[in-house]
Amino acid sequence: MAQIDRQKTIAPNTSTFTINSKLMFKNNGTADWLKEKTEEQKNTLIVRCRKMGEEKRQRDIRDFIKIYTEKSSIIEARIKEKELKEAKIIAEKEKIILDINNLGGKWTT
């Protein structure tokens, strides 16, 4: 976690995806592993990883949008529920006042 925080202070505009990729590359010893590969294998792996990275980024964006819309609909439902509850309370109060007026109204002193 400290590594992520450190990377965020160094480059605050960097996406979390990029930071995680850099840290995984460093911590897993990917550079050493890549040194053992031929140039053709390296190029193939890099192209494939870039493609997979873009697909993951698009998936993350879709997931974010899905979660955001679900949260928004939940919030809207709660607001409507609260408004209905308030309208019900107001209607009950008005009915009570109407019943009091039908029974003769308020006492005058």
pLDDT single digits (tens) 88-100: 999 999 999 899 8
Average model confidence (pLDDT) for the chain? 89
Using 50, 70 and 90 to split pLDDT, how confident is the model at 109? low
Q: Where are the domains positioned within the chain?
A: 39-99
d(CA 42, CA 19): 22
Helices 16-27 and 2-10 cross at an angle (nearest 10°) of 120
pTM of the complete model: 0.55
Contact indicator for 7, 14 with CB cutoff of 8 Å? yes
Residue 74 has a pLDDT of 97
Query: Is pLDDT at 105 greater than 80 in this prediction?
Result: no
